[in-house]
Structure 1
């Protein structure tokens, strides 16, 4: 006889992480990225604790990557704006 096939369910938090990561790149840049990072880590922990019942580690990793990339790009953007306008103000102050 055939052994019963174990049915593994996709983690809901992994799906939320991926969707929030995508929203972080479109509609909700800050909130979506933070939600993607938090739920991605929670989903990976949940999947590691119950590997026989849950799957979706790839979805969680994709959400984490999207979230962290958006946060990194935001930090680089803020640094660029701060340094550009700070340098511009220093140039104007030195010229006058």
Structure 2
């Protein structure tokens, strides 16, 4: 009789997913950084013991949410800098012409 082995879900993978969700809601940058760090740690833990630990999907979801939030926030920051930089350039040109 072949009894399937019990596999526990990685706590780090769950933390990564929860932090990734928090990164999009309550704690944007902090949650995203925690999601990225714990996601990588969880995937490493799962690779070391694939028969005993599961939760790779949770870890990947946390990583995707964390990296996506950082990418979006950096793009928004770049857009803001370009907008106000362009505005400052227009004001400077208008001041030099007048």
After TM superposition, the score normalised by the length of structure 2 is: 0.96
The 5 Å alignment of 1:1-96 reads 2-96=1-95
Alignment deviations for residues 21-57 of structure 1 (CA, whole Å, 9 cap, x no partner) = 0000000000000000000000000000000110000
The gaps in structure 1 that reach 5 residues or longer are none
Per the TM alignment, residue 64 of structure 1 is displaced from its structure 2 partner at its CA by 0.3
CA distance in structure 2 between the partners assigned to 1:70 and 1:76 by the alignment: 10
Larger Rg: 2
Aligned residues: 95
Per the TM alignment, residue 85 of structure 1 is displaced from its structure 2 partner at its CA by 0.2
TM superposition outliers: structure 1 runs of 4+ over 3 Å: none
The gaps in structure 2 that reach 5 residues or longer are none
- SS of the equivalent of 2:91 reads helix
Backbone CA RMSD of aligned residues: 0.5
